[in-house]
Amino acid sequence: MSASKALVFAHKVQRELRARGVWGMTKSVPAYAASWWRRWLDGAIDRKYGTDTGGILEKEALAAHGEHSGASTGYEAIQVPLFRRIMRDVPARPSEHVFVDFGSGKGRALLMAAEYGFKRVIGIELSPLLHQVAAANAARVKGRTELSPIELHCGDAAQYDVPEEDVVCFFYNPFGRVVMRKVVANLEASYLRRPRRLLVAYRNPVCADLFDNSRVLRLSSANRHYRIYEAALDGGAKPTCAG
C-alpha cells in the first residue's frame, strides 16, 4: 500500500470509529473482509493481463444510443470464480465451439473464455465506450498464442446473428425482456436454419422464462446463479435441478 493510500485508509478508519464506535466497527469486519476478498478474486484477470475490466456503471453512463439503449442493465463484469463454475457446467468441448458474449462490456468474460481454448471468442457490445475499453484490453493480450482469437463488434445484440457453427452463447443479464425476446427468436431461427450444437449459459437469468418456453432450447442445468440450455430439435422446457 502506498503512503497516500495508507493515509486515506487511516482517515477512513478514524471517521468510522467516531461514527460507529469500536463495537460497531468490529461487527462489520467480517463483511468488509468478505467483500475485499471477492474484489480481490475478481481482479485476477486484470492482474494477470494488465487489463481493465472492473467497475460498475449505470446504463446512463454507457453513452449507448439506439432503440434498445434504455433496456440495458448497465455494466458489471462477470465474477471470476462464477465464470469458472459456469464453464465447468457447460457441456461443450471449447475447441469445437465458438463463444459469443451478448453484451460483452469491457470483455472480462471474453478474456476468460479465451483461456479455455474456444475456436474464437466474439463479443457484441452496444456501448461504444465499453467497446473501446474491450478493444484496448484485447490489444493487451494480442499475440498470446495460448488464448483464442478475440473478435469484437459494437452493435445491438438484437440484430446480431450467431455464426452457423457450434456455439456457446453467454449472457450476464445484459438487457430486459424486449431485447431478450428478439435475441431468443434469432437464436431459434439460426438453429432451425442449421441444426447444430448450440448452448446458452445465462447468468442472473431474470428472463429465464423466455428460454424455458423456447421451442428449441431445453434446460440442461440450473441453480440460483445461472441456467444452462442446449438446443435440440425436440426442444421445449424440461426443468431439471435447482438449488
Ligand X SMILES: C[S@@+](CC[C@H](N)C(=O)[O-])C[C@H]1O[C@@H](n2cnc3c(N)ncnc32)[C@H](O)[C@@H]1O
Rank residues 51 and 72 by Cβ distance to ligand X and give the closer one. 72
Rank residues 130 and 228 by Cβ distance to ligand X and give the closer one. 130
Identify whether the C-beta of residue 203 lies closer than 8 Å to the C-beta of residue 176.
no
Write down the least CB distance from residue 219 to ligand X, Å. 21
Identify whether the C-beta of residue 202 lies closer than 8 Å to the C-beta of residue 183.
no
Residue type, 174: P
Rank residues 77 and 218 by Cβ distance to ligand X and give the closer one. 77
Write down the least CB distance from residue 229 to ligand X, Å. 17
The residue sitting closest to ligand X, measured at its beta carbon, is 103
The residues pairing with 169 across neighbouring beta strands, listed in sequence order, are 100, 200
Write down the least CB distance from residue 174 to ligand X, Å. 3
Site residues (vs ligand X, CB under 6 A): 62, 64, 68, 72-73, 75-78, 101, 103-105, 108-109, 124-127, 130, 156-158, 172-175, 179
Q: What is the crossing angle of helices 80-89 and 3-42, to 10°?
A: 10
Task: Calculate the dihedral angle through the C-alpha atoms of 111, 92, 162, 175, rounding to the nearest 10 degrees.
Answer: -60
- Comparing C-alpha atoms, which of 193, 52, 66, 43 is closest to residue 127? 66
Write down the least CB distance from residue 68 to ligand X, Å. 4
Rank residues 157 and 218 by Cβ distance to ligand X and give the closer one. 157
What b-and-e string marks burial along 185-203, b requiring 16 or more CB atoms within 10 Å of the CB?
A: ebbbebbeeeeebbbbbbb
Rank residues 54 and 235 by Cβ distance to ligand X and give the closer one. 54
Write down the least CB distance from residue 138 to ligand X, Å. 13
